[in-house]
Structure 1
Amino acid sequence: MSKVVHFEIPAEDMERASKFYENVFGWEITKWEGPFDYWLVKTGEENEPGIDGAIMPKESDDVIRNAISVDSYEEFAEKIEMEGGKMLTEKMGIPGIGYTGTFQDTEGNILLIVEFKME
């Protein structure tokens, strides 16, 4: 079974959004040192229920997206298409994480799949 493991909140102003979520919910937010603008969100301690996420630059009509962990990017991209969904992006490598891609489900919702490759 594949589990929701991450969320993404789109923002026009990354610092303003970070301050908002830090001040309202007490989340810890840090700028990722990766190849694109991405701010990591820690919503609680490891032993607490829930998931962590990120704040990312907003593009046109972006909405909050959830990332679903999968064993094989290729296998699930194929399943998504076979069941009436649509892959919206090509497979993208994320250094130190694995592979991800964005898809649209049959209801028009946009989500991500993530294949973790811890090496």
Structure 2
Amino acid sequence: MRPVHFEYQSPDPAASQDFFSKALGWTFQQWGEFPYWLTTTGPDDRPGINGALMPSPDDQPRTVITVDVPDIHQALERVSSAGGETVVPIQDIPEVGRVAYCRDPQGIVFGVYQAAEMDE
């Protein structure tokens, strides 16, 4: 299970977009009707992951790493067994997959993601 996505939660998403565009050359594209911008960090043929930028729900800046899992229900059980907790229950993202957010015993929030099964 490896990191596949990050989310920067910013008190000022426009300022963050401006900074990361200038400092690192990242590009941003609005996704859906939400204040959520997909973030491209570089070409697909280079190592690294892409992510997203969104407003912070409590005006505190943070980064959330999301990990790919084969079975989201089993992953949440393992998190609980290891002393963590689910803080945002499973959410379906149409044509993308399912995601939930957890907190480890030290208070760090992270996501678990199960990709949608694609029809062949």
Which secondary structure does the structure 1 equivalent of 2:39 belong to? strand
Shift of 1:69: 0.4
Stretches of 4+ moved more than 4 A in 1? none
Instruction: Give the letter for the 1:89 counterpart.
Output: V
Which secondary structure does the structure 2 equivalent of 1:64 belong to? strand
Quote the Cα distance in structure 1 between the aligned partners of 2:70 and 2:55. 27
Mean Cα deviation higher: 68-77 or 54-63: 54-63
Cross-structure match for 2:113: 114
Quote the Cα distance in structure 1 between the aligned partners of 2:75 and 2:7. 20
Cross-structure match for 1:9: 8
Shift of 1:12: 2.2
Task: Give the unaligned 5+ runs of structure 2.
Answer: none
Task: Give the unaligned 5+ runs of structure 1.
Answer: none
Shift of 1:62: 4.8
- Asked if 1:38 is matched to 2:36, the reply is yes
Instruction: Give the letter for the 2:4 counterpart.
Output: V
Cross-structure match for 1:83: 82
Shift of 1:118: 4.2
Tell me the TM-score normalised to structure 1 length.
0.91
Tell me the TM-score normalised to structure 2 length.
0.91
Q: How large is the Cα RMSD of the aligned pairs? A: 1.3
Give the percent of matched residue pairs that are identical in Structure 1 and Structure 2: 26
The C-alpha deviation readout for 1:3-59, integer Å capped at 9, x for no partner, is 1011110122322221211111101111112x5221011101111111111001112
